[in-house]
Structure 1
């Protein structure tokens, strides 16, 4: 999976080799810091998650995209994430 690129309507995504799932989940959080340490398990998600290096097609901004199976996990991540 590490060598696969996924293109959606909004992003060109490069999956993290740490992903356990091969899905782009519905609830997404774009982190506009491509080099920030993003560790989804440290936010104690109740559902599944995936992490991608991301290129936002709309404006060419690079960053990371964290996708969550559950909306409350995405909300918790958004409220607690602080880039290093």
Structure 2
């Protein structure tokens, strides 16, 4: 089954099959580690989140984009995330 891509002004996104939601939320973080394991469940975030493999269009850098419904969750993610 082919993966559907989503192109925004900043990214070409490849949705994770583990996403519970099919939305790109307002608060976003680009993680420049395409192979890092990002386990959002263990961070116990309060709102909805989505995870995408991503290509940043400005420089064609590969990585991942995490989107958050809540700004507080974005701040918590940025504080807790460390690449493996």
Same fold per TM (> 0.5)?
yes
The structure 1 segments of at least 4 consecutive aligned residues displaced by more than 4 Å after TM superposition are none
Q: Name the counterpart of 1:43.
A: 43
3-state secondary structure, aligned to 1:78? helix
The 5 Å alignment of 1:4-83 reads: 4-83=4-83
Task: Determine the C-alpha separation between the residues in 1 that align with 2:18 and 2:57.
Answer: 24
Q: How many residues align?
A: 83
Structure 1 stretches lacking a partner, 5+ long: none
Residues 47-76 of structure 1: per-residue CA shift (max 9 Å, x gap):
000000000000110000000000000100
C-alpha RMSD over aligned residues: 0.9
With normalisation by structure 2, the TM-score equals 0.96
